[in-house]
Amino acid sequence: MSMHSSLSSLIAIINSVIYYFYEIGGPVLMVIGTVACTINLIVFSQKTLRKNPCSIYFIAFNIANFFYIYSSLLALILSAGYNVNPSVYNLIICRLRLYASLLFDCLSAFYLILASIDRVFITTRNVRYAYKVVIIGTLFWFVFHSHTLIFSDIIQIHYNYFLCYYQLGDYLSFIGYYSIIKEITTLLLLTICGLWSMANIRKTCCGVVVANPKSNSPKDRQFSFMLFINVIIHGLFSLVFVIFLIYQQITQNQVKSIEQQQIEVIIRNLCLFNASIPVCISCYTNLLVSKKFRSEAKKIRLCK
């Protein structure tokens, strides 16, 4: 019995620490992310960069990130840091929250994959083609995730503790497998395309003629460097969430104590917060690795 009370006390302490972490660190991360997405959108929308299809993918990527910050991350911060969670009282808000979280997380990765493929092959300079791919892909994912609007529910974990989550049973298993496959597939595609793109740049720098001469321009190399850093950061921060998803899927049929369920909710929220970091720091990594990006950002700051 004393062991049970000790575990409950430990969970209470962890919850207090996590509470202050979200209360203070959450808004800071949101401000950092908002500034980053805004700068990225302004820079990539400049006429000198907008002619490149990769810039269109980066614009779409940052729009998805912006909506992710103000849907998934904001809801997480309000819930974990301020005890404000309307999604556990209203089913419509619950379903919209889960739908937005799944959708914008998927779109962010989707646009990053499109940009990665563009950096490898650079099959066309036609910006209209990039617009078409973005629009068609966006509509597809909007429709694909619509099942969340039906099969989400407000679940009672224990007395006076409710959670907005996916319906238990087959649908929860489907979401679990889908999330694992999505994260692993995204990591594999981004890794392959990123390494391939860097290999092309190395060949170019060494004077080797690559299959596609259109990828030799300095601007294309700048885009490739920015993308490669984004891919690395996305992969590192997503890996933790993948491990947690696999654990959750393996143990989903086990009978878990209230304390174990509480610990898993804490870890899940930390993983979601951790996965939000790449969304919020993209601009700052672009400033570090790309001279062209710094130049365009400086022009905007000087109002040129």
In this prediction, residue 32 carries a pLDDT of: 96
Q: Are 142 and 100 in contact (CB under 8 A)?
A: no
- pLDDT by residue (tens digit) across 26-78? 999 999 999 999 999 999 998 888 888 889 999 999 999 999 999 999 998 99
The token pair that represents 282 in the structure block: 């993209």
Rounded CA-CA distance 259/4 in Å is: 9
DSSP code, position 51: T
- What is the C-alpha radius of gyration for the chain, rounded to an integer number of angstroms? 21
- Looking at residue 266, what is its pLDDT? 84
3-state secondary structure of 157: strand
Q: What is the pLDDT along the chain (304 residues), one digit of tens a residue?
A: 455 667 777 778 887 888 888 889 999 999 999 999 999 999 999 888 888 888 999 999 999 999 999 999 999 899 888 989 999 999 999 999 999 999 999 999 999 999 988 888 765 567 888 999 999 999 999 999 999 999 999 988 777 778 898 998 889 889 989 988 998 999 899 888 888 877 776 765 555 444 454 545 677 788 888 888 888 898 888 888 888 888 888 887 787 777 787 788 888 888 888 888 999 999 999 999 888 888 888 887 766 5
Confidence (pTM) = 0.88
Alpha helices, DSSP H, located in 218-257: 218-250
Q: Which residues of 47-73 are buried (b: 16+ CB within 10 A; e: fewer)?
A: eebeebbbbbbbbbbbbbbbbbbbbbb
pLDDT at residue 122, rounded to an integer: 66
The pLDDT of residue 303:
62
CA distance 47 to 129: 17
Please tell me the total number of residues recorded for the chain in this structure.
Answer: 304
Residue type, 257: S
Q: What domains appear along the chain, each with residue ranges and CATH number?
A: 2-301 (1.20.1070.10)
Q: pLDDT value at position 211? A: 47
Give SS3 for 250. helix
pLDDT number for residue 73: 92
In angstroms, rounded to a whole number, what is the distance separating the alpha carbons of residues 165 and 91?
10
